[in-house]
A = this chain, B = another copy of it.
C-alpha cells in the first residue's frame, strides 16, 4: 500500500482503460451507438466518448446512469483488480 501513490498515474490509467473496455463491450452487446447510449443516459456525447476511450474518470452517478441503460449490474467492474 505504501507505493500506491507512487504508481498512481500508471495504476489509474490501467483502471480507466479496463473500465473503458468493459463499458464498450456492454454497449456493443446491447447493440447501441455511443450517441444513443449517451443520449438515453442523459450525459453528453463528448463526455461519453472520453469515458469509453479511458481518458476520463467517471463519477458514480454517471456510472449508475450507464449501468441502468445498459441493464448491467456492477459485476462488470469486478475485473479491475486482476488485470
**Footprint of B on A, CB under 8 Å?**
1, 4-5, 8, 12, 15-16, 19, 40, 42, 57-61, 63-65, 67-69, 73-78, 80-81
Contact = CB atoms under 8 A, between A and B. Distances in A.
Given A73-B78, A74-B74, A60 B61 contact: no
A57 B59 CA distance: 6
Given A4-B42, A42-B8, A81-B68, A15 B61 contact: yes
The majority secondary structure among interface residues of chain A is: helix
A61 B57 contact: yes
B78 A19 contact: no
A67 B65 CA distance: 20
A76 B60 CA distance: 13
Contacts of A59: 57-60
